[in-house]
Amino acid sequence: MSSMLDRFYERSAHLIALLNSNPAEAVKQAREINLDLDTDERFNLMGLRAAILVDGGTLTHQQDAIEEGLALFRELHSSFPIADVTYNLANGLVAATGFPPRNANWLNHQELTRERRAEARRCFWKVAQDPDADSALRTQAWTNLANQFSGSYRLGEAHDGWLAALEIDPENGVAASSAARSLLWLYERGGCSELTRVEAILLAKIADRHRDRVIQYAGVQAAEQIAAFASKLGDAPPRSPHQDPFIRWVERERLTLAPVVELIDPNLGKLDWLMLPGILERESVAVGMPLPVFAMFNMLKSDFILARDLLWRASDENAWPATGRFGDTLDYATYGPDASALILAHRTALDLLDKIAVTANHYFELGQSPDKVYFGKLWRGKPDKTTGAHPLAEEVEKAIRGGASALYGLVELAEDYDNSAGILRSQKHLRNAGTHRFVVLHDIGDPANSRQAPEIEHHRREPFTQEVLRALRVARSAIQMLALSISQHEQGLAQRAGGLVGSLIVPDHDWIRGRDDET
């Protein structure tokens, strides 16, 4: 047995070295690996052959080699659905889809590859969420999942993913560098605070300090690119820690409504300063009042801020009036306004998704009746009866091709949320349980020991709190995508047509109310 393993490791080392020096030859030799065996050695060799074919095929642009390797990973995964095989399957799927072109064919590519990309997201998500998976695997799964989000303009979720990767491995320079580049791209578009650039510098320096880890995860070439990138940014200025515990919590949990996921600048006076851009007047004669979309966006922000505040206050049961008397159900369940606030915060955060869809339907003139708009259903037309394809709705495609690329992020987020196998489907299920039935939270003990009824879902309070945080981040990211897509659309309109810019007549609400000095 040991000699068999020795031969395998020797062959593996040889092919990996060959992959770096002559990838075409590595692919050729990988194809010569004999898999016609009846021993456990077959599965080891299958994994090695698949990995070399995928990586070598990517380096040499041999799509047939990538597809062959992907098929082997699928076969291996059907027998061994363990974390490392799931991770490799995801990487194979990503390699097979390739990089989206940076031109007018970007949307075509995203649509042609959407099923494979969705499967890759599910695989990366499964590994990232697996507490038993190796930490190196989990941090790379978060990094690659974030990269997938970024490619579809799901920039807030991408930043969350890169930071989750860094939480597992603070030396993950690949995640740090990707996050820094994303922040700088948004900073250079304009509208961000100076702290966006500061955080980008801090992240880039993390990447530069941990060159060995970058090489481990992404190779020598990536490490050299990151070092060059970091050297251009200079040093970040010092920051004083926030004194207010609420501000510290909001920054730590990434729950501000700013143009990007960023640190909090106390000089701005507001945590939630994301605003719509100037909007061209749609009417032929200006009526002297801002367009309705401003009211919609204000309410999106208001609801988000309330949901966040409910979560913050729910952490302290003494923050609520103790006016209720409850019968104990003898299962360590918690009852009272603090528990209800936690459940309501989750529901309010996810209810925002339908309202975001209503706003997008109105602004982009997608043509649906407002009372029939749902986040999971708005973006695509009816399936083709012959092919089964589910194309984008005509007006949605028109808006994206017209320059509102970030709108595609909402399309993809809706699929992850609404599809039965989507990575966010559990959030929708939990939201429906809290809306239409009962959710009961337990601070200790096993909820499975409660007396069960189909009308009640029992959850541990701390894991449920983490789900609320996740729901708030999803809502925050969706609002950011909506604002970015509107900004992109307005930039396109400004180049193609004249008109009155709505921002010229949309003053600050606090200024109008005489509260401009309040924080």
Q: pLDDT at position 192, please?
A: 87
d(CA 371, CA 422) in angstroms, rounded, equals 25
DSSP assignment letter at 148: H
d(CA 85, CA 51) in angstroms, rounded, equals 10
Residue 172 half-sphere exposure, CB side, CA atoms within 13 Å? 24
Give Cα separations from 214 to 136, 170, 178, 218, 225 (angstroms). Answer: 12, 12, 12, 6, 10
Q: pLDDT at position 504, please?
A: 44
Nearest Cα residue to 146 out of 171, 187, 179, 115: 179
Question: Exposed (0-12), middle (13-18) or buried (19+): which is 448, by Cβ within 10 Å?
Answer: exposed
Q: pLDDT at position 210, please?
A: 87
Beta bridge partners of 459: 441
The neighbour count for residue 302, using CB atoms within 10 Å, is 11
DSSP assignment letter at 256: -
d(CA 123, CA 477) in angstroms, rounded, equals 22
Question: Per-residue confidence of the chain (519 residues) as pLDDT tens digits?
Answer: 567 777 888 888 889 889 889 999 999 999 998 888 777 788 889 999 999 999 999 999 999 999 999 999 999 999 999 999 999 999 999 999 998 887 779 999 999 999 999 999 999 999 999 999 999 999 999 999 999 999 999 999 999 999 999 999 999 999 999 999 999 999 988 888 888 988 888 898 888 888 888 888 777 777 787 777 777 777 777 878 888 999 999 999 999 999 888 888 877 778 898 998 878 776 665 566 788 999 999 999 999 999 999 999 998 878 888 889 999 999 999 999 999 999 999 999 999 999 999 999 999 999 999 999 999 999 999 887 777 778 999 999 999 999 999 999 999 999 999 999 999 999 999 999 989 999 999 999 899 999 999 999 999 999 999 999 999 999 999 999 999 999 999 988 877 665 544 444 455 656 545 555 544
**Residue 237, H or E segment:** none
Q: pLDDT at position 285, please?
A: 59
Please state the φ and ψ torsions of residue 390, each to the nearest 5 degrees: -120, 80
Q: pLDDT at position 219, please?
A: 75
The neighbour count for residue 65, using CB atoms within 10 Å, is 26
How many helices, marked H, and strands, marked E, lie in the chain?
21, 3
**Residue 456, H or E segment:** strand 456-460
d(CA 147, CA 218) in angstroms, rounded, equals 13
Give Cα separations from 215 to 101, 127, 172, 309 (angstroms). Answer: 26, 22, 10, 42
Give Cα separations from 358 to 375, 379, 431 (angstroms). Answer: 8, 11, 19
Q: Which residue has the tokens 């060159």?
A: 211
Residue 473 half-sphere exposure, CB side, CA atoms within 13 Å? 24
DSSP assignment letter at 501: B
Give Cα separations from 99 to 87, 147, 242, 409 (angstroms). Answer: 19, 11, 41, 16
Give Cα separations from 342 to 310, 345, 471 (angstroms). Answer: 7, 5, 12
Q: pLDDT at position 387, please?
A: 78
Answer left, alpha or beta for residue 365, where phi above 0 means left and psi between -120 and 50 means alpha: left
Are 477 and 487 within 8 A, CB to CB?
no
d(CA 495, CA 26) in angstroms, rounded, equals 50
- DSSP per position, 88-130: HHHHHHHHHH-PPPSSTTHHHHHHHTHHHHHHHHHHHHHHHT-
